[in-house]
Chain A
């Protein structure tokens, strides 16, 4: 492909964030995905989220496996750390990296193939361990890189580009994450950045495993009539159940909200998720209530979006395992390798 690079000219009104960086400082290399791919919109929203949160690029770690989705970390925050691993193994890599340096912001980008087929076990265990990361699943219902076979998230009755309907039951990542105990479960749509952006920001600031399933249409293999993951289908069947705003820690809260009611939830760092609209008899901090609501709407054929469940408890893998307060990566050599005498003493304990 003979792409030109995105011209370096900037709009003079671009504002800088607290670090003195503008949004274009958070860009990556130019995308080689198909024109119109939903993943590129997710990338744009991720760029904006990091920029607006003023996260220093060198404190970000981008993790991915294999697939169209796995290419996308190359397209945002060039100055971040990154690891592109084997197919479906991103959760293990992220877990390992997080164990070594818990102070970075981890963002894992995966797809329906990477997470729900070859990497399903990995995905489940990352949830179970409550790794402090934002896990974005770019969900398009097909294997785009191998020319559009149904993936594990394809709905029953959804038709392929050639018109063949899918007969296998889908694995629903949102239902899975809710049942497995994820502490932050949301769904967004690449065609609606207004909704996606606060979800990404809240997910990045959430302590623990934050999961966002993003319906991200495949323009080449799954954007036709009969598809249930197309732009048009998602727009027509989308149901924004729990729209939220993300209120960073330093901003003044001007909108009215009643204390104790479920209009807002304070995150572990003091920033806040404010619910713009929550149905009566629904409590997004009650897993069972969230699950019931989700399932009942799903049975009516609706694509439920929004921040569906949030546990602001603020614990993660490191708390569960009582690791050192200092990240392992920052410990001195002496502390990390205290010598053979200490090793022998440790071994003695198990005799």
Chain B
């Protein structure tokens, strides 16, 4: 449906509009060119993905600059495939969890645990599994890589969607039921739009985390199998192997351009579009803007191209899938409780069986020394995460506050902070490794900062957001009562940004655990640096294809992350919600 802007008043503008109807406008040219380019690239990349595996060995990844754009494209396509898979997962699994109480009992705790499982650990199995699934085709390795990115993205998106579905406003729910919207109509008219802002934000966070994993998952060595998928990650792995410093620089540049393009062409338009789904009934103060979105909206040819899809969409909206829901009659409580018990019992049996299988599998090869090594390493990694987050907070909280309180500065720095958070830090690792090798510093200490290299920016940009949102009247009150230095920090700004800080630090610490797997074991050519920790334990086991140790390492790390979240971050979160909300 196309609506003309309603604030059109003058004759001149009306005339302009009529002429625009016929003549393609300048927006059209830009938009069409970009769209055509995207379609061509998509087709090219997709056909390359299905190439037989032999192509990989016949034409291995080379450090030829001419190939870099192609590699960048392939990396991007992997990202998109993963995000589409994540969205499908979100729409189905989260919806199921929100609609069915019994599915919810299983799905929600499962998602909670999956969130804390180190993604990179998965690679070992998934490569073996997917390569077996598509023998002789590159698709197997592609799927493994995409799956790795998927596992880094899907959980928080599903969580966000589930929470939105559970908090659909009661009156809108009643309108929908009163008019007898079918389940299908209800989903697209009420539930999906209501969930959109949260989902878009979470997808953005997921994508920015995803670059890290796409780089880590393209070049994989599992035991004797080495797969190098054409992409920036493989380019980087090769550059490290060949000790080619210039090639690493090119990778950094390519990655930067890629993230910039992705941000400008995809994310900003989507955020600008999703603004209309915000539930607050007041007109927003500052609308998110995007030139790409304006171009798309301004282009009349684009509208003509989109019209058939809009028509199909309209038809689809009339489809009455699912019965009209009758008023929820009170179900027989005793029967329902009985089914609940049976279901819970069934889940419990499955879980016990799973635990037994896992333990007996690991028991065959693992000894007590593994237990002490993994848990000891876990403690060391835990200390690293805590210390590094503390140091990063000490540095970035004051800077973030300083920036956030100055809107003009914040406007410029905030996109930069978001860019840095999305930039895969593993691309920068070689520089650090080189420095450690050159100076002969202790890797157990100096490899650690790599863990927060990419994740510290979450702290920065959340603190900036918090300080920017700090109410002006409280700032003025603090100024009137002459609160200075420590008392200003203690009573005014720190409580004011606390909820934002907790969000940032939580994201940062989660990312750091994941990063430990690549940060604690780094190499440059033949030089290998290793820091003692759980991350290096998993990384070493992966390299030699020692599955039981990988499983065990992942389990221990999941345990640590879950414990850390439950005992520190969640209570802080609850505290921030209860005591420091400013609305």
Q: Do A and B bind each other?
A: no
Residues of A within 8 A of B (CB): none
